[in-house]
């Protein structure tokens, strides 16, 4: 846990932070608005006392209420991993700015987040599905996407509250029905 | 000559056999139940380079529009040199690569979704087949992340056993890499020696873990079993000649003029580009950045061990190969230290049968043979991870292919892709 990193982050990013800087074990976590992602990432990478030069990961998260984009960065100036959570992206129209202007490598990571969650990264030149087939319509890692079988569920009381909802129209269940109805050709 | 537009899109709904015949490359077959029609209908659509739908992004439209004298070539998905099921659509001008569009997803199994519906112990089974050449490291990343969530102290003997087995597997993976790189350049002999080495190591690990490839050995809070006699005797035999055998294998390639000429100066990834792409592992160190998670962000017992992080400045395919050879030497040193300092004690911490960590988030990253393997997991207090994100190094490393290939010859495509060491099981998740 790097306590000086906390003061450095607060000094550099004071206005952008939403909530306190959270530190646990070897991780430091900050929360920001999705709109301020380009500014914050640029400061983090280019400020001389921060120098977070390696984008370790970019992940989408669906909390059931909102979407998040989570960045993990590494810097030679600290012993901590830095986690940036762009929080509060609405689920019905998830949009976030792209990080490709700083890290070209974010392009595929954003494509993956789009493929799995439907988060549209504005500024990504090649935002198309990367794993799922092109004619696929739903977003598999969203919490309202239910697996069609129960075999993968654990024996414990593992079915989560958010997954007990009604299956949305246009989700995987309907596609399976279409395939079943289609004439053999 | 005006740029050629993509071929007219084919409708998915086929009504008559006549449409099928017309679709089959305009060829006329006598009978409608001709098996060749069926074959064309199935295969022709699947493996056409130009996708049968309008371009989804500007970049896709730009790529699938041919310029003067250009052509498309499908490399894969079932090509022996693509290290799995990868399709590279190459845009060629003569024999030169102009542009490339990698098409992924042929091995996509939705492991992250499955993990979010499995409990914490079952997740470790699911992540094994991702990086099938180095499955211990994928387990290690998951275990590291979960241990932070659960707040459990791992016994020191278990940490030593993890490092010992991990470094053995790193050597197996790198040895195989040396062989496959040579194989993709047309040399058959090195892969045979590689498999001899790798087979000894996986048999050794089979004695320890019970499986040759998908070990499922690391547990949250320790490892599955203690060291046993058969493993130790096999390891002792192998260690007595490992260093010499590595040098012999390396000499086979280092002093091979064809190999060196075909890799030196090919596919140069400079320092700035490598950092921009987020490349990790040997590929980044070959470009001059000394980033190794074992040293950059130490985990387990690596701070106590002595080893170097080899780097090179050239950034070409040959440098990426030589880095791997150096890493094998460093791994042998680490194994030696592990065996000398192995402490006594338990190999598992005491944990309940069903883990329900407190709500929280954690990121665990380890240095795998291909780079940083990371796992970001979120717990909501139930027995299943709320979110389980797998960061695979080959996925990011493969992304540099569109930047490295243009300007190179078609034959060098293999030297470049193979030198990045992608494993498609991990890329496609």
* ipTM, two decimals: 0.83
Q: Give contacts of B403 with chain A, Cβ < 8 Å.
A: 104
Whether the per-residue pLDDT at B363 is higher than 90: the answer is yes
Cα separation of the two ends of chain A = 62
Domains of chain B and CATH, by start: 1-54 (no CATH), 111-428 (1.10.645.10)
Pick the more confident residue, B1 or B421. B421
Distance from CA of A25 to the nearest CA of B (A): 8
Subunit contact A59:B376, Cβ cutoff 8 A: yes
pLDDT, mean of residues B73-96:
82
Percent of chain B with pLDDT over 90: 38
pLDDT band of residue B38 (cuts 50, 70, 90) is low
State residue B5's pLDDT score.
53
Tell me which of B154, B273, B352, B363 to substitute to probe the interface with A (most A C-beta atoms closer than 10 Å).
Answer: B363
What does the pLDDT average to over B45-49? 63
Tokens at A105, concatenated? 């490598």
Block residue for tokens 């596919």: B267
Backbone torsions φ then ψ of B386, nearest 5 degrees: -70, -40
Note whether B374 contacts A56, CB cutoff 8 Å. Answer: yes
In the predicted model, what is the mean pLDDT of chain B?
85
Q: For chain A, list the domains and their CATH numbers.
A: 3-137 (3.30.460.80), 144-185 (no CATH)
The three-state secondary structure class of B197 is helix
Residue B19's pLDDT band, with cuts at 50, 70 and 90, is very low
Q: How far is CA B152 from CA B144, B345, B346, B426, in A?
A: 10, 16, 14, 28
Position A70 scores a pLDDT of: 94
| Model confidence pLDDT, tens digit, residues A95-125 | 899 999 999 999 999 999 998 998 889 888 8
Mean pLDDT lowest for which of A142-146, B32-36, B99-103?
A: B32-36
DSSP per-residue codes, A126-164: T---SSS-TT--S-TTSTT---S-STTS-SSS---GGGG
**So what's the pLDDT on residue A92?**
86
Residue A127: the pLDDT is 87
B83/chain A closest Cα distance in angstroms: 17
pLDDT of B365 higher than 50: yes
- What's the DSSP call for residue B166? H
Contact B17, B40 (CB under 8 A): no
- Would you place residue A132 in the very low, low, confident or very high pLDDT band (cuts 50, 70, 90)? confident
Q: What is the mean pLDDT of the segment spanning B98-126?
A: 88
């Amino acid at each position: 846990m790097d306590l000086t990193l906390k003061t450095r982050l607060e000094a550099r990013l004071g206005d952008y932070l939403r909530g306190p800087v959270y530190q646990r074990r070897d991780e430091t976590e900050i929360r920001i608005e999705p709109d301020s992602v380009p500014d914050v990432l640029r400061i983090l990478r280019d400020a001389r006392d921060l120098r977070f030069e390696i984008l370790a990961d970019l992940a989408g998260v669906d909390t059931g209420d909102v979407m998040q984009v989570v960045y993990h960065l590494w810097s030679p100036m600290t012993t901590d991993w830095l986690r940036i959570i762009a929080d509060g992206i609405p689920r019905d129209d998830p949009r976030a700015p792209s990080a490709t202007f700083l890290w070209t490598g974010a392009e595929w990571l954003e494509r993956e987040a789009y493929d799995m969650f439907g988060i549209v990264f504005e500024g990504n030149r090649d935002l198309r599905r990367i794993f799922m087939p092109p004619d696929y319509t739903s977003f598999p890692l969203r919490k309202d996407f239910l697996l069609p079988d129960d075999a993968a569920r654990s024996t414990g009381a593992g079915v989560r509250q958010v997954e007990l909802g009604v299956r949305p129209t246009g989700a995987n269940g309907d596609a399976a029905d279409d395939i079943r109805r289609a004439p053999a050709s | 000559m005006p740029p050629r537009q993509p071929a007219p899109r084919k409708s998915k709904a086929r009504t008559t056999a006549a449409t099928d015949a017309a679709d089959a490359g305009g060829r006329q077959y006598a009978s409608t139940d001709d098996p060749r029609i069926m074959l064309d209908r199935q295969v022709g659509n699947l493996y056409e380079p130009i996708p049968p739908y309008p371009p989804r992004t500007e970049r896709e439209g730009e790529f699938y529009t041919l310029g003067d004298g250009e052509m498309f070539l499908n490399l894969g998905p079932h090509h022996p040199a693509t290290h799995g099921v990868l399709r590279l659509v190459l845009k060629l001008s003569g024999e030169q690569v102009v542009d490339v569009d990698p098409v992924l997803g042929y091995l996509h199994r939705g492991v992250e979704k499955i993990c979010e519906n499995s409990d914490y112990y079952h997740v470790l089974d699911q992540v094994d087949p991702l990086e099938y050449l180095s499955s211990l490291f994928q387990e290690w990343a998951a275990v590291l992340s979960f241990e932070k969530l659960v707040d459990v102290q791992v016994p020191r003997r278990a940490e030593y056993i993890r490092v010992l087995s991990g470094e053995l597997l790193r050597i197996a993976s790198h040895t195989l890499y040396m062989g496959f790189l040579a194989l993709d350049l047309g040399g058959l002999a090195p892969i045979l020696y590689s498999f001899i080495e790798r087979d000894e190591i996986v048999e050794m690990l089979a004695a320890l873990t019970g499986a040759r490839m998908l070990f499922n050995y690391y547990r949250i809070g320790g490892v599955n079993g203690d060291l046993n006699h058969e493993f130790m005797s096999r390891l002792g035999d192998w260690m007595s000649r490992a260093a010499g055998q590595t040098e012999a294998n390396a000499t086979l390639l280092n002093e091979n003029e064809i190999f060196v000429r075909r890799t030196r100066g090919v596919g140069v990834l400079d320092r700035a580009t490598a950092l921009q792409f987020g490349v990790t592992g040997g590929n980044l160190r070959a470009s001059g950045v000394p980033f190794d998670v074992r040293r950059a962000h130490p985990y387990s017992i690596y701070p106590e061990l002595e080893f170097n992080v080899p780097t090179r400045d050239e950034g070409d395919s040959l440098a990426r190969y030589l880095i791997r050879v150096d890493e094998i030497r460093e791994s042998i040193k680490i194994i030696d230290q592990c065996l000398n300092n192995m402490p006594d004690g338990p190999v598992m911490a005491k944990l309940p049968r069903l883990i329900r960590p407190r709500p929280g988030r954690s990121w665990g990253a380890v240095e795998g043979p291909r780079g940083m393997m990371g796992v970001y997991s979120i717990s909501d207090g139930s027995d299943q991870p709320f979110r389980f994100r797998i960061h695979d190094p080959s996925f990011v490393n493969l992304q540099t292919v569109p930047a490295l290939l243009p300007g190179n010859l078609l034959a060098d495509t293999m030297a470049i892709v193979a030198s990045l060491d992608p494993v498609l099981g991990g890329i496609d998740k």
